[in-house]
Amino acid sequence: MRKQLNYTRSKAAERICRAASTAKQAQYVYSLQAAKCYDKARYAFERAATGQERQSSPWQAGKLLEQAASCAKETGDMTQVAELSRLLHAA
């Protein structure tokens, strides 16, 4: 006899995996920022913001875009800062 999987259990496991991967990604991004690798951190913040938008977390995505703009400002790329600001206000 084959055991059926519980649908709610698999949904909960999926949410936990998604939260864990987001937490690992955040830890990685903040370590890049602390190491002053601003270009890599900006790109990672943008990717994390995209992931948060897909998870229906617009507030968190906005905060991540702000961080990406901050990293772009540190590199002196004002066109990138303007582009990220437009993305932030469009969301």
pLDDT value for 18 = 60
Residue 17's pLDDT is what?
A: 53
Q: Any idea which of 6-10, 21-25, 57-61, 75-79 has the lowest mean pLDDT?
A: 6-10
pLDDT digits (tens, 9 = 90+) for 44-72: 888 888 888 888 888 888 888 888 898 99
Q: What pTM, to 2 d.p., does this model score?
A: 0.70
> What pLDDT is stored for residue 57 in this prediction?
83
Give the start-to-end residue ranges of the domains of the chain.
Answer: 8-90
User: Which CATH architecture is the domain 8-90 placed in?
Assistant: Alpha Horseshoe (1.25)
Which DSSP string do the residues of the chain spell out, in sequence order?
Answer: -PPPPPHHHHHHHHHHHHHHHHHHHHHHHHHHHHTT-HHHHHHHHHHHHHHHHHTT-HHHHHHHHHHHHHHHHHHT-HHHHHHHHHHHHH-
What pLDDT, on the 0 to 100 scale, is given for residue 11?
A: 58
